[in-house]
Amino acid sequence: MEGRRDKVFCNPNCKSAYHYKRSHEKEASLYNQIDHQLKHNRRLLKNFNKAGKATVRKENLIAEGFNPKYFTHYWKNQKGDVYLFCFEFGFLERNENGRSKYVLVHWQDYMNE
């Protein structure tokens, strides 16, 4: 190796490859795990709710990796129902005909009030 006496890497590519490999060998931090789950929940809610409001069986979302314990905020309607949101996509658990379902919604302007 040429350069300084205390030089560790032969070039920037070697340095980058070393740190990239090292970061993937470490266990993900709690922050990264939570962030990943929130983004996954949002992606699923978006995919299952194309029209702005939909109803889907809870078991279908759970099977795709949805975790209802992870949400960013909530909104309570006038009836007292509490919708949990992952960013702009929300869900409310309901029991219909003995089956657990989620009512999926998209954030609306009137919810800001």
pLDDT of residue 57: 95
The whole model's pTM is what? Answer: 0.77
pLDDT of residue 1: 64
Q: For residue 101, how far is the Cα from the chain centroid?
A: 19
- Estimate the share of the chain in helix, then strand, then coil, as percent rounded to the nearest 5: 40, 25, 35
Residues of the chain with pLDDT under 70: 1-3
* Burial (CB count within 10 angstroms: exposed 0-12, middle 13-18, buried 19+), residue 49: buried
